[in-house]
Structure 1
Amino acid sequence: MEKVIKKENAKERLLKFLLHLDIGQGKFEELVGISNGYINNNKGSIGSSVMDRISTRYPELNINWIATGNGDMLISSKEKHLNNSNESYYREKYIESLQNIISEKEETIKLQKDEIMKLKDEISRLNGIISKSSVREEKKEAS
């Protein structure tokens, strides 16, 4: 008879990580911000939003290992450094793009302010013409 090796599911790998941390399921759920009993009620796979919460709280955990079983449980310091470098790079690019958007909006606001001033001047000029015209008509009617 051939021996069948059962492959671990994500829930079982997560439980191994909890053993590594020497932490209970309830405390882990509280720290990660997931519902009490999530792990116990889990059928084997873990949703992406929960995976995001776990990776945020435990950046040393290899999320790929949790999901697939491939690789090591923990990310090496070299991989962690690369992840942090990439995160910093994308954060800087995001900030740079936001600064460009702000600069463009500030320029638009300046142009709109200039246009408003021109329109106000034109309104004042037209009001002056209307006032002079009204005075002339009143004089004609009076004579």
Structure 2
Amino acid sequence: MKDRLLKIAEHYGLTPNKFSEIIGMSRAFIKNINEEISTKPMRNILLKFPEVNIVWLLTGEGEMILKNTNAEIETTEKTSPEFLLEYLKEKDKTIGDLREEIGRLKQELLSHEQREGSYDLDVNDRNAAEKEIEYKKSK
């Protein structure tokens, strides 16, 4: 196992210490490893280096790097916890911004109704207003 981990580090141009850090382990992780590793470093290796062949990593059989893994790499990156957390933060900000805008528009509508009096738009007026808004957005 130690030899295979060293080969992965070498393949990516990393020192054993840097490789250990990247997978969330102590700097001396590879140096101190005997034959097997626990689930945590194995999981982290596959998350950080998804093109590494897990069968090769576990058994030494087959190729170290999987072929045609571009789609898998992209999928893994887009489902990583860091990516998903950032994505959720962006969505929360968008939702907050939209809520503020809705509140501002409600206040503006209320203010307008108080000045001008309440009115209802008929269907034709409403459609015309929507088309005008779409036209302005497209400019």
Q: TM-score when scaled to structure 1? A: 0.47
Larger Rg computed on CA atoms = 1
Q: TM-score when scaled to structure 2? A: 0.48
- RCO higher in 1 or 2 (8 Å CA, sep ≥ 6)? 1
